[in-house]
Structure 1
Amino acid sequence: MRLDSIQIRGARTHNLKNIDLDLPRNRLIVITGVSGSGKSSLAFDTLYAEGQRRYVESLSAYARQFLERMDRPDVDDIRGISPAVAIEQKNPTRTSRSTVGTATEVQDYLRLLFARVGRVICPTCGIEVKKEQVTDVVEHLRHLPEGTRAVIAFPLTVETSPGVTAAALRENGFFRILLDDDRVVTLDQLPPGVLEPGKTVHVVVDRLVLRRGEETRWADSVNLAYREGQGVVVVAIPGDRRLRFSQRLECSRCGRAFLEPQPRLFSFNNPFGACPTCKGFGDVIEIDLDRVVPDKSRSLRGGAIEPWNTPTHSHLRHELIRRAAQRGIDVDKPFSELTQDELDFVLHGDDDFPGIYGFFNWLETKKYKIGVRVFLARYRGYVRCPDCHGTRLRPEALWVKVAGKNIAEISAMTISEARRFFEQLELNPFESEIAESILRELRNRLRYLDEVGLGYITLDRRTSTLSGGEFQRINLATALGSQLVGSLYVLDEPSIGLHPRDTSRLINILTKLRDLGNTVVVVEHDRETMEAADYIVDLGPGAGERGGQIVFQGTYEALRRDGRSLTGAYLRGNQQIPPPDTRRRPDGRHIVVKGAAEHNLKEIDVAIPLGVFVVVTGVSGSGKSTLVHDVLYNGLRRLHGDWKAKPGRFKAIFGADLIDEVTLVDQSPIGKTPRSNPATYVKAFDGIRQVFAQTRAARVRGLTPGHFSFNVPGGRCETCQGAGVVKLEMQFLADLYLECETCGGKRYKRDVLEIRFRGANIYDVLQMTVDEAYEHFRDFPAVTQKLQLLRDVGLGYLRLGQPATTLSGGEAQRVKLAAHMGNRPGKHVLYIFDEPTTGLHFDDIRKLLACFDQLIEAGNSVLVIEHNIDVIKNADWVIDLGPEGGDAGGEVVAVGPPEAIAANPASHTGTYLRRVLKLRAA
Structure 2
Amino acid sequence: MCGKNLFFPLPSPLSRALDPRQGALFLISSSSRSCFAQGVFFDLSQMDKIVIKGAKMHNLKNVNVEIPRNKMTVITGLSGSGKSSLAFDTIFAEGQRRYVESLSAYARQFIAQMEKPDVESIEGLSPAISIDQKTAPRNPRSTVGTVTEIYDYMRLLWAKVGRVHCPICGTPLEKQPSSKIVETIAAMEKGTKIFLLAPLVEDRKGEHIKVLEMIRREGFVRMRIDGQIVTVDEDISLDPKKKHTIEIVVDRMIVQDLEVKEGQVNPNRTRLADSVELSLKKGDGSMIVLEADTGAIHRFCEDFACPDHPDVEIPRIEPRSFSFNSPQGACSTCHGLGTILQVDEGTLVPNPKLSLAEGAIHPWTTSASRMGYMMKILDAVAKDAGFSMHKPWDTLPKEVQNIVLYGYEKKLGVEYESASFDGTYETMYEGVIPGTPLPRVRRETAEEGNTWCHSRKQRHRLRNRHEH
Q: Please tell me whether Structure 1 or Structure 2 has the larger radius of gyration of its CA atoms.
A: 1
Q: Establish whether TM, by shorter chain, passes 0.5.
A: no
| Structure 1 length-normalised TM | 0.24
- What is the TM-score of this pair, normalised by structure 2? 0.42
